[in-house]
Amino acid sequence: MEKQDLDQLRLAYKNATDAWVAAIRAEEALATPDHSMVAMEHWDTAHFAEEDAHAKAREAREAYKDGLRGANYGI
């Protein structure tokens, strides 16, 4: 695997992780003193978005690790 390919995988991982952190912060911001059902539904929706962002970050991490294994160990 070429260095530029690894750089792209690392950048994809970084971007996915940044998006995950943003989703965590968005979810956290919705944990407010407003105890209404509407507020709870917004909070739940944000949680599902956080879970999706986490899954994407995990996938990007695995792709980067696979690239590193290939470059460093030939596997």
What is the average pLDDT value for the chain, to the nearest integer? 96
- For 32-54, the pLDDT digits (tens) are 999 999 999 999 999 999 999 99
Dump pLDDT digits (tens) for 1-13. 799 999 999 999 9
Question: pLDDT at position 75, please?
Answer: 77
The residue-averaged pLDDT of 15-21 equals: 98
38, HSE (Cβ side, Cα atoms, 13 Å): 1
